[in-house]
Every structure is written in structure tokens, then in C-alpha cells.
Amino acid sequence: MEKPPVPLFRRRSKNELAATAARLEVGRVFAMDEARFGLKVSHRRLWCPFGHRPPWTHEHEYRWLWLYAAVEPTSGACFVLFLPHVDGRCFQRFLEELRRDLGPDRLGLVLDNSGSHTSGKVIWPEGVTKIPLPPYSPELNPAERWFEALRRVFANRIFESLDQLQEALAAALEPYWTVPATLQRLVGYPWWCQAIATLPPVPPHPERKT
């Protein structure tokens, strides 16, 4: 069976990444998104002896935390933050910490058009520029691949508290930021890496004197 054709607006978005980044004069381009992890278990298939029912575990308590993540597909560099909500205030905090962590480089941040990302109350730090994705196109965001890998790890598991969940998430994330090449192999979409490779050098954003 033939795969359905890729919608034109998504092909255009892939083809225009290099031109957009060059026009905005950004030196590095990160993909950003949020993922929800909670005490309520998500189920996936598992092996069990023939004739036996799978030993599904259940947790019905609705308590969550959000993993905010930005990843650079060309290098595997990443920045993550655990926050309690998806809203403008938490997104503002993430942008400020991202800017502080990555230094003076001019950054492009590819992300969707959710309410918190487009809120007029969010003040984008100097040297960080938004590159919006087309509507309904999560497959264009490499960060989603990372979240998929993490959700497979945490399926069918129960945690007694959010603190315990956060500790487990940090342990699962550590191999990726310790060895960026591991993350780069996961999220380094060829069309993205080829587009960024064509960008001209961009001087760092001058730091504001205080």
C-alpha cells in the first residue's frame, strides 16, 4: 500500500527552514515542546505466559508534571525543565532559563502554536526567536521523537509520588545529555540537519550590560 502524499504546506515548511533561519539571523535552531507525565499509568503491550492475562497495573490518581524540552537536532544538545503546568508563566520561566543556559548564541526555537506559546503576556528574551510550525504537524517537531522514546520507558509503571516520578525521569534523561550523540541519532532528521548546515555563520547576540 502506498503512503499518502505529504501535504504541501508541510513539505513547504521543511523546505523553508533554512531560509527562515537565515532571515531571522539565528546561529542555532532548537526544537521545543512539552510532554505530560503523571501518576496515571499509560499501557503498552507486554509479554506474558500463554494463557495468562497480562498483569496490568493501575493508578487512578490524576497528578501530573510537565517536561519542557528543547533539543538541537544537529548536535544532540538539549535543555530540559520540570514545571507544574503548561501556561504562559511556566513557558516564560523556561525561555529565561534556556537563554541563561545556552549563553549568547542567537537561537531559533521551532515550536507549535499552542496558547502558552502565542500568549501576548510572554516576553521573549533577547536573542531568542520563535519559528512557528504549521498547524497540526507534530511530525515536523523532532522533540516529539524524544518524548515517544521516554513514554515507552515509562509505560506500565506506577510511581507513588510526583517526586519519585521526577527522579525516574531525570535518570532516564541523563544518558541523553551525557552522550549528546545518542539524542542526535534519535532526533537528527536529515532534512533538518541539511537545512541548518547551509546557514552562514552568525555572531553571538551581544549580552546586555547591567
Total domains, the chain? 1
Which CATH number characterizes residue 133's domain?
Answer: 3.30.420.10
47's grid cell? 509479554
Q: Residue 49 domain-assigned? A: no
Inside any domain, residue 134: yes
Is 121 contained in some domain?
yes
Domain-embedded: residue 12: no
Q: Tens of pLDDT along 145-164? A: 999 999 888 877 778 889 99
Q: How many CB atoms lie within 10 A of CB 129?
A: 18
State which residues form the domain around 171: 19-41+59-196
* 3-state class (DSSP) for residue 202: coil
Say if 203 falls within a structural domain: no
pTM of structure: 0.84
Q: Residue 169: its pLDDT value, please?
A: 94
> 67-71, 72-76, 111-115, 155-159 — which is least confidently predicted?
155-159
> Which DSSP category does 80 fall into?
E
pLDDT in tens, 93-141: 999 999 999 999 999 999 999 999 999 999 999 999 999 998 888 899 9
Position 47 in a domain: no
The answer to whether residue 54 sits within a structural domain is no
Q: Which residue has the cell 516576553?
A: 123
DSSP string covering 7-34, please?
PHHHHHHHHHHHHHHHHHT-SEEEEEEE
Please say whether the dihedral angle defined by the alpha carbons of residues 130, 134, 140 and 144, taken in this order, is positive or negative. Answer: positive
Please state which of the ranges 56-65, 149-158, 169-178 shows the lowest mean pLDDT. 56-65
Q: Which of 41-50, 70-79, 105-114, 201-210 has the lowest mean pLDDT?
A: 41-50
User: Does residue 88 lie within any of the structural domains?
Assistant: yes
Please tell me the least confidently modeled range out of 59-68, 160-169, 189-198. 59-68
Strand order in the sheet with 64-71: 78-83, 64-71, 28-38, 107-111, 128-132
Average pLDDT, the chain: 86
Please list the alpha-helical segments (H only) found in the chain. 8-24, 88-102, 115-118, 143-154, 162-178, 180-187, 190-197
The whole-number average pLDDT for the span 69-79 is 97
What per-residue confidence (pLDDT) applies to 204?
75
Q: What is residue 101's three-state secondary structure? A: helix
